[in-house]
Structure 1
């Protein structure tokens, strides 16, 4: 870079600031300060002074951030005002870097709880890469940026939204139960900033476009999305689409009576083995539970586990009621969790799965309230949620390393998600979600 060391003078509402081109060049190219340089990072203009009609206290804090990498918040400046000014100058990422240290799930603290504007229960929460989140609530998705300010929601206008997930900070996918009178897709991609529909994912089967309900879905590194699909004519399976074009690339399906694809509750890409893990979990008075590993190259089922709900053993019935499952490719295993927070493991290298349980809590606990056992993986940690508690496990034998205690939300945790240096936990009652963060670094100070 050909950065000049000339002094630069700013007049910010009558308050004079002097700095150097070197300090300003630490701002990104698309920022207000980056625009002052040419392609070779030479200061373009030779003005004696630049006038800026913005808040001088925020300007001082942001200028100091560029020079030192530390953020000192003046006592008369609120965080919301600082975020607004940082957005104007194009320095939000600099503020984020100074404010948030890298996510450490073993050191999380409860930062805040957010109550929604609508009554009733929510179904899912998804953290955005930028530190915000999306909450599925009835027929709408409520959107929050990383400052936790709520933006205009996305109204999918379907019967109920099942799931929501971020492709990136600007693109969000929503799956939903279609209304009987609608003859279209239950899966769509939206612009998260504007709420505009980018495209619906059509399902084509036997040269006919099918109206379908979508549920669980996942993304892979090849810009593909896989989603569970169910049509009104008894066709169930997993559709695969291109994220960019919205075009269908494949459809793995079985008829209504097959246990292989009867509307799975979880779908997971296994990038190393080019396989897709599809799982159906226990529901009271429901069908059999099953987990299958599908090889996408030849559409063959290479591994499976099936639990028949008609077993005679009460003990096995109670313990083998699997509520969630997640594949851990590095360990060649699948982890499952039952209603009582028992963790079990199955070896993917065997031809047929059998569960090795790590604990037997089912005799000691009799739970009557709604529960939503959920598993996640993050940074080598296995996270398990039961009731209002999230536990972290690590190491080759998955020992408990830490736990998030009871939070301020009401009811059991319905869903949780990790992204953008935060963990979000959605409660089943009162439309509340909690925000967990790693404690602020020492350079976030008030002067």
Structure 2
């Protein structure tokens, strides 16, 4: 796209603004301004004129801020412009992504800072906290899922009528998949698709066994890059394992049944590995007395890698509380209640943990009722959160 000299004039709320096509093109194709360009990013003009005027009946102060953002790439909000009003106007123009990016900046794991917080029982004692695609999040707590936008303003909560929520995962900014416990004697529980804006149930994902619909408890959730939904499932008879549904049609397309002596149906965590097209399944203490971590290949219904602490010495107090696969280093990282990190090599068919102790660093810092540690990966960095701290490591430490 070359630099254009065509000027464009706007009359916004009886205030006149003049800018260039180059500045407007920075808004992108999906914005209101993107419709002013043809497929070659040439400005559409009337009667061959070089200057056109468009009337928009919106707030002129907010328009000035957004135009300056497109011109400079920086966001400056004057004291006379309420932030919520600016965000509403940015949504109208299709510039909310630009505003969010300018306000928060790129994520830097080496410079973590608290941007904003939500207090209350649900965020402080949630079953699961999941980040949304638009910068918001949802918090599962009991039979409720509390949904927050990127400004941490709460939307109407999603209520499952006393069914305990086990996990939640975002499909897009408007939809959330939620898994919940089965209620005996009632056709409830399982997995459902809900509106993140209204809390409305839009679809229920069914489990079929021998051509019959079965009641089940939905557990850990995950998506792959092929629009497939995975969930751990615990039924009343044979429906123990990992279910697979087509995200577009909502129909069940496969089921990996739990083998004898192993645990899949009560998994705490699922993680899709894009490089190997396999699914990491982790069932962890205290949900089960022993921990089970495996790598499943749905293409041939095989378990290509596995590890369990069955047979570990009774004196070993290191119980795995979370696990995450790191494909770049062909390893699985685990963490125990003392925030010790352990690593296992995925290139060996049966895993064994190589622990890297941090207990001495944490000695004297453990609170009376510590939270379970959680692991996350982002662009080559490993994050371990526990209690009121987040530790950041290079993911290459697993090599």
Partner of 2:279: 276
Is the 2:207–2:252 Cα contact (8 Å) retained in structure 1? yes
Partner of 1:369: 369
Matches within 5 A, 1:9-408: 9-37=9-37, 41-45=42-46, 49-116=53-120, 121-233=125-237, 235-254=239-258, 258-283=261-286, 286-308=288-310, 312-314=313-315, 316=316, 318-319=317-318, 321-359=319-357, 361=359, 364=363, 368-394=368-394, 396-397=396-397
Over 3 Å counting, the alpha-carbon distance change for 1:227 and 1:158 in structure 2 is farther
SS at 1:113 equivalent:
coil
Q: Deviations over 1:43-77 (max 9, x none)?
A: 34579744333222211111222223232222211
Over 3 Å counting, the alpha-carbon distance change for 1:330 and 1:48 in structure 2 is closer
Is the 2:122–2:140 Cα contact (8 Å) retained in structure 1? no
SS at 1:293 equivalent:
strand
SS at 1:18 equivalent:
strand
1:171 Cα deviation after fit: 2.7
1:36 Cα deviation after fit: 4.2
Over 3 Å counting, the alpha-carbon distance change for 1:126 and 1:19 in structure 2 is same
Tell me: higher relative CO, structure 1 or 2? Use CA pairs within 8 A at least 6 residues apart.
1
1:150 Cα deviation after fit: 1.8
Find the aligned partners of 1:48 and 1:222 in 2 and give their Cα distance: 45
Over 3 Å counting, the alpha-carbon distance change for 1:252 and 1:88 in structure 2 is same
SS at 1:151 equivalent:
coil
Over 3 Å counting, the alpha-carbon distance change for 1:21 and 1:351 in structure 2 is closer
Query: Which TM-score applies when normalising by structure 1?
Result: 0.79
1:38 Cα deviation after fit: 5.4
Partner of 1:433: none
Q: Deviations over 1:168-215 (max 9, x none)?
A: 223321111122232145111223344443321111112221111111
1:367 Cα deviation after fit: 5.8
Over 3 Å counting, the alpha-carbon distance change for 1:26 and 1:329 in structure 2 is closer
Find the aligned partners of 1:68 and 1:120 in 2 and give their Cα distance: 39
Is the 1:21–1:43 Cα contact (8 Å) retained in structure 2? no
Partner of 1:406: none
Is the 2:138–2:145 Cα contact (8 Å) retained in structure 1? yes
Q: Deviations over 1:252-271 (max 9, x none)?
A: 1237x632325111122223
SS at 1:102 equivalent:
coil
Partner of 1:443: none
Find the aligned partners of 2:314 and 2:121 in 1 and give their Cα distance: 47
Query: Which TM-score applies when normalising by structure 2?
Result: 0.88
Moved more, 243-252 or 270-279: 270-279
Q: How many residues align?
A: 393
Moved more, 365-374 or 2-11: 2-11
Matches within 5 A, 1:413-428: none
1:135 Cα deviation after fit: 1.4
5+ residue gaps, structure 2, are none
Is the 2:117–2:152 Cα contact (8 Å) retained in structure 1? no
Over 3 Å counting, the alpha-carbon distance change for 1:29 and 1:254 in structure 2 is closer
Find the aligned partners of 2:330 and 2:22 in 1 and give their Cα distance: 50
Moved more, 347-356 or 360-369: 360-369
Q: Which has the higher strand share?
A: 1
Is the 1:37–1:44 Cα contact (8 Å) retained in structure 2? no
Is the 2:245–2:254 Cα contact (8 Å) retained in structure 1? yes
